[in-house]
Structure 1
Amino acid sequence: MISTERVKNIALAGIIATTASMATSVMAETSATDKQSLRQQSKAMFGTLPDTMPGSDNDTAILIELGEKLYMDPRLSVNDTQSCNSCHLIGSDKTGTGVDNLATSPGAIKGKGGDRNSPTVWNAGFQVAQFWDGRAEDLKAQAKGPILNPVEMAMPSEQAVEEKIGGIEEYQVAFKQAFGSEDAVTYDNLAHAIAAFERTLISQDRFDEFMNGDDNALNDQELAGLQTFISTGCVACHSGKTLGGHMYQKLGMVNAYPHQEDLGRHKVTGNEADKMVFKVPMLRDISRAAPYFHDGSIETLDQAIKDMAWYQLGRKFDQQQVDDIAAFLKALDHQPTSL
Structure 2
Amino acid sequence: MKLKRSKENLIYKIAFVGFIGGFAVLFNQCTNKSVGETEKLAQKPETSEDLKEDKALKEKAEIYFASISSLPKQEFPEEKIELGEKLFMDTRLSKDGNISCNSCHNLKTYGVDNLPLSPGDTDELGARNSPTVFYAHLHGMQFWDGRAKDVEEQAGGPILNPVEHNIPSEEFLEERIRGIEEYQEMFANVYPDSAQPITFETITKAIGAFERQLTPLSRFDKWLDGENDALNSQEKDGLTAFIDKQCITCHNGPAFGGNMLQKFGINGDYWELTKSEIIDHGLFDLTQEERDRYKFKTPGLRNVEMTFPYFHDGSVEKLEDAVRIMGQLQINEELTDQEVKDITAFLKSLTALPENE
Q: Going by fraction, where is helix more abundant, 1 or 2?
A: 2
Residue 76 of structure 1: aligned partner? 93
Name the % identity.
Answer: 43
| CA deviation profile, 1:156-189 (whole Å, cap 9, x unmatched) | 1111101111100000111100111352111111
Alpha carbons 2:69, 2:221 under 8 Å: kept: no
For 2:157 and 2:210, how far apart are their aligned partners in 1? Answer: 17
Letter in 2 for 1:196: A
Within 5 Å, which residues of 2 pair with 1:203-242?
Answer: 203-242=216-255
- How far the C-alpha of 1:33 sits from its partner, in A, is 4.2
* TM-score, normalised with respect to structure 2: 0.81
- How far the C-alpha of 1:240 sits from its partner, in A, is 1.1
Extract unaligned runs of 5+ from structure 2: 1-47
For 1:44 and 1:237, how far apart are their aligned partners in 2? Answer: 14
2:141 to 129, 133, 139: 129
Alpha carbons 1:223, 1:328 under 8 Å: kept: yes
**Segments ≥4 residues shifted beyond 4 Å:** 29-33, 50-54
- How far the C-alpha of 1:47 sits from its partner, in A, is 1.5
* Greater Cα radius of gyration, structure 1 or 2: 2
| CA deviation profile, 1:214-245 (whole Å, cap 9, x unmatched) | 11000011111111111112111111111111
SS in 1 for 2:109: coil
Residue 3 of structure 2: aligned partner? none
Within 5 Å, which residues of 2 pair with 1:131-210?
Answer: 131-180=143-192, 181-210=194-223
Residue 116 of structure 1: aligned partner? 128
Change (3 A) 1:333 1:192: same
For 2:114 and 2:186, how far apart are their aligned partners in 1? Answer: 32
1:38 to 57, 71, 75: 57
Residue 272 of structure 1: aligned partner? 290
For 1:316 and 1:203, how far apart are their aligned partners in 2? Answer: 33
Residue 119 of structure 2: aligned partner? 106
| CA deviation profile, 1:249-307 (whole Å, cap 9, x unmatched) | 10001222125721111122222111101111101111010000000000010000010
Letter in 1 for 2:298: V
SS in 1 for 2:340: helix
Residue 319 of structure 1: aligned partner? 337
For 1:76 and 1:51, how far apart are their aligned partners in 2? Answer: 35
Letter in 2 for 1:45: Y
Alpha carbons 1:53, 1:200 under 8 Å: kept: no
Change (3 A) 1:335 1:172: closer
Alpha carbons 1:52, 1:200 under 8 Å: kept: no
RMSD between superposed Cα atoms in Å:
1.8
SS in 2 for 1:41: helix
Alpha carbons 1:30, 1:37 under 8 Å: kept: no
Alpha carbons 2:215, 2:354 under 8 Å: kept: no
Change (3 A) 1:32 1:205: closer
Residue 325 of structure 2: aligned partner? 307
Change (3 A) 1:174 1:337: closer
For 1:262 and 1:300, how far apart are their aligned partners in 2? Answer: 21
Change (3 A) 1:297 1:249: same
For 1:225 and 1:30, how far apart are their aligned partners in 2? Answer: 19
SS in 1 for 2:171: helix
For 1:303 and 1:261, how far apart are their aligned partners in 2? Answer: 19
For 1:336 and 1:216, how far apart are their aligned partners in 2? Answer: 21
- How far the C-alpha of 1:53 sits from its partner, in A, is 6.8
For 2:72 and 2:164, how far apart are their aligned partners in 1? Answer: 27
Alpha carbons 1:210, 1:216 under 8 Å: kept: yes
For 1:336 and 1:196, how far apart are their aligned partners in 2? Answer: 16
- 1:256 equivalent in alignment to 2:256: no
For 1:220 and 1:159, how far apart are their aligned partners in 2? Answer: 56
Alpha carbons 1:53, 1:126 under 8 Å: kept: no
